[in-house]
Amino acid sequence: MTKKKRTMADRVFVVCNTVFMILFVIITLYPVLNTLAVSFNDGTDALRGGIYLWPRKWTMKNYVTVLQKNNLVTGAYISVLRTVIGTLLALVSNAILAFIVSRKRFLFKKQLSFFWVVTMYVNGGLIPTFLLYKNLGMTNSFSVYVIPGMISAFNMLVIRTYMNGIPDSLEESAQLDGAGYGTIFVKIISPLCKPVYATVALFVAVGQWNSWFDAMLYNRLDSKLTTLQYELMKLLSSVTNQGTSMEAMKNSGGNVTPTSVRAAATILTMLPIICLYPFLQRYFVTGMTLGGVKE
Amino acid sequence: MSNKFKNKSKANIIEPKTKISWKEIKQQKVLLIWSAVIVVYGVIFYYLPLAGWLMAFQNYKPKDGLWHSQFIGFAKFQQLFSDITFIRTIRNTLAMGVINLIATFITAIVFAILLNEIASKGGKKVVQTISYLPHFLSWIIVTGILHDALSGSGIINEVLLKMNIIDQSINFFAHPGYFWPIVAFANVWKETGWNAIIYLAAITSIDPSLYEAASIDGAGRFAKIKYVTLPGIKPTIMILLLMNVGNVLNAGFEIQYLLGNGLVQSVSQTIDIYVLKWGISQSDYSIGTAAGIFKSLVSIVLIVIANQIAKRNGEERLF
Better-scored residue on pLDDT, B83 or B313: B83
Does the pLDDT value for residue B4 go beyond 80?
no
A267, A36 in Cβ contact below 8 A?
A: yes
Q: Please give the pLDDT value at position B177.
A: 93
Q: Any CB–CB contact under 8 A between A254 and chain B?
A: no
Between chains, do B201 and A288 touch, taking CB under 8 Å as contact? yes
Is B295 touching A (CB cutoff 8 A)? yes
| B residues 156-195 lying closer than 8 A (beta carbon) to A | 158, 189, 191, 193-195
Output the pLDDT for position B111: 96
* Average pLDDT along chain A: 87
Å between A80 CA and nearest CA of chain B: 15
Chain B residues with beta carbon closer than 8 angstroms to that of A25? 127, 130
At B210-237, the pLDDT tens digits run 999 998 988 888 899 999 999 999 888 8
Q: Mean pLDDT check: name the lowest of A250-259, B59-68, B307-316.
A: A250-259
Q: Which of A35, A96, A281 sits opposite B34 (nearest CB)?
A: A96
Mean per-residue pLDDT, A211-230? 92
Cβ separation A281–B129 shorter than 8 A: yes
A269 contacts B141? CB cut-off 8 A: yes
The answer to the question of residue A42 being in a domain is: no
Q: Which residues of B touch A147 (CB under 8 A)?
A: 45
Tell me if chain A has a CB within 8 Å of the CB of B97: no
Domain count, chain A: 1
| pLDDT score, position B205 | 87
A106 and B CB contact within 8 Å: yes
CB pair distance less than 8 Å for A127 and B32: no
Residue B34 has pLDDT above 80, yes or no: yes
Of A115, A131, A293, the CB nearest to B243: A293
Domain of B301 in residue numbering reads as 77-312
Counted domains in chain B: 1
Residue A187 lies in a domain: yes
A38-52, A228-242, B263-277: range with highest mean pLDDT? B263-277
CA distance B239 to B318: 8
pLDDT of residue A195: 87
CATH number at residue B110: 1.10.3720.10
3-state class (DSSP) for residue A58: strand
Alpha-carbon gap, residue A90 to A94, rounded angstroms: 6
Q: How confident is the model at residue B21 (pLDDT cuts 50, 70, 90)?
A: confident
User: Which of B38, B215, B295 is best to mutate for the A interface (most A CBs within 10 A)?
Assistant: B38
Residue A156 CA to its chain's centroid (Å): 18
3-state secondary structure B134-190: HHHCCHHHHHHHHHHHHCCCCHHHHHHHHCCCCCCCCCHHHCHHHHHHHHHHHHHHH
Q: What is the pLDDT of residues A173-192, one digit of tens each?
A: 998 888 889 999 999 999 99
DSSP one-letter code for A220: T
Q: State the DSSP string of chain B.
A: -HHHHHHHHHHHHH--PPPPPHHHHHHTHHHHHHHHHHHHHHIIIIIHHHHGGGGGGEE--TTTHHHHSEE-TTHHHHHHHT-HHHHHHHHHHHHHHHHHHHHHHHHHHHHHHHHHT---HHHHHHHHHHHHGGGGS-HHHHHHHHHHHHSTTSHHHHHHHHTTS-SS---GGG-HHHHHHHHHHHHHHHHHHHHHHHHHHHHHTS-HHHHHHHHHTT--HHHHIIIIIHHHHHHHHHHHHHHHHTTGGGG-SHHHHHH--GGGHHHH--HHHHHIIIIIIS--HHHHHHHHHHHHHHHHHHHHHHHHHHHHTTPPP--
What confidence score (pLDDT) does residue A40 get? 94
* Within a domain: A7: no
For an interface test with A, give the residue of B21, B148, B254, B293 to mutate (most A CBs within 10 A): B148
* Beta-strand runs (E) in chain A: none
Scanning every residue of chain A, which has its alpha carbon at the shortest distance from the alpha carbon of B128?
A25
pLDDT at A114 over 70: yes
CB–CB of A37/A53 below 8 Å? yes
Hey, what amino acid is at A85? I
Q: Which residue of B has its CA nearest to A260?
A: B148
Domain contains A149: yes
Whether A3 is covered by a domain: the verdict is no
Give the residue among A49, A26, A30 at the shortest CA–CA distance from A260.
A49
The residues in B 197-256 lying below 8 A from A, measured between CB atoms, are 197-198, 201, 220-222, 239-240, 243-244, 246-247, 251, 253-254
Question: With helix as H, strand as E and coil as C, how does A186-212 read?
Answer: HHHHHHHCHHHHHHHHHHHHHHHHHCC
Find the mean pLDDT for residues A250-270.
80
Q: Does B74 touch chain A (CB under 8 A)?
A: no
- Using a 10 angstrom Cβ sphere, with 0-12 exposed, 13-18 middle and 19 or more buried, the burial of residue B22 is exposed
How many CA atoms within 13 Å lie on the side-chain side of A52? Answer: 6
Choose among B132, B145, B221: nearest Cβ to A35. Answer: B145
Tell me if A58 is assigned to some domain. no
Dist. CA B236–CA B239, nearest whole Å: 5
Asked, for residue B46, whether it belongs to a domain, the answer is no
pLDDT in tens, A119-178: 988 888 899 999 999 999 999 999 999 999 899 998 999 899 889 889 989 888 998 888
Average pLDDT rounded to a whole number, residues A222-236: 90
Q: Quick check: is A208 in a domain?
A: yes
Tell me the pLDDT band of B9, cut-offs 50, 70 and 90.
Answer: very low
Give the distance from residue A139's alpha carbon to the nearest chain B alpha carbon, in angstroms.
Answer: 14
Examine residue B203 and state whether it is found in any structural domain, yes or no: yes
Rounded CA gap, B254 and A22, in Å?
A: 30
CB distance from B46 to chain A under 8 Å?
yes
**Model pLDDT, residue A44:** 84
Other residues' Cβ atoms within 10 Å of the Cβ of residue B283 = 11
User: A16-72: per-residue pLDDT in tens?
Assistant: 999 999 999 999 999 999 999 999 998 888 888 788 889 998 999 899 988 988 889
Q: Which 3 state secondary structure label does DSSP give A41?
A: strand
For residue B201, what pLDDT band results from cuts at 50, 70 and 90? confident
pLDDT at A242: 52
Contact A277 B136 (CB under 8 A): yes
Among chain A residues, CA nearest to B41: A151
CATH number of residue A115's parent domain: 1.10.3720.10
**In this complex, do A49 and B293 lie within 8 Å of one another by their Cβ atoms?**
no
pLDDT of residue B188: 96
A75 in Cβ contact with B3 (< 8 Å): no
Contacts of A209 in chain B (CB under 8 A): 138
Dihedral (CA of A114, A118, A120, A123) sign:
negative
Q: Is residue A5 part of a domain?
A: no
CA distance B13 to chain A (A): 14
CB contact at 8 A, A214 and A145:
yes
pLDDT at residue A6, rounded to an integer: 61
Residue range of the domain that includes A174: 69-295
What ipTM score was computed for the predicted complex, to two decimals?
A: 0.88
Flag if A124 and B292 touch (Cβ within 8 Å). yes
Indicate whether B168 pLDDT > 80: yes
Strand-pairing partners, residue B58, are B71
User: In angstroms, what separates the C-alpha of A26 from chain B's closest C-alpha?
Assistant: 10
Task: Report how far residue A166's alpha carbon sits from residue A104's, in angstroms, rounded to the nearest whole number.
Answer: 12
Looking at residue A47, what is its pLDDT?
A: 81
Mean of the per-residue pLDDT values for chain B? 87
Contact assignment for A107 to B55 by CB distance below 8 Å: no
| B173 to chain A: closest CA residue | A240
Contact A292 B240 (CB under 8 A): yes
- Residue in chain B nearest A51 by alpha carbon: B155
Inter-chain CB proximity A128 and B51 less than 8 Å: yes
What is residue A245's predicted lDDT score, i.e. its pLDDT? 47
Cα→Cα distances A158→A93, A97, A152, A272, B36, Å = 13, 11, 10, 25, 22
Residue whose C-alpha is closest to residue A116's, from B119, B173, B39, B20:
B39
In chain A, residues 43-62 whose CB comes closer than 8 Å to chain B: 49, 52
Q: Which of A32, A79, A127, A289 to mutate to test the interface with B (most CBs of B within 10 A)?
A: A127
3-state secondary structure of A168: helix
CB contact (8 A) between residue B133 and residue A284: no
Percent of chain A with pLDDT over 90: 54
A114 close to B (CB below 8 A): no
Say whether pLDDT at A223 is over 90: no
> Which residue from B minimizes the CA distance to A214?
B254
Torsional sign, CA A25, A30, A32, A37: positive
- Is B13 inside any structural domain? no
B138 and A107: CB-CB below 8 Å? no
pLDDT at A92 > cutoff 50: yes
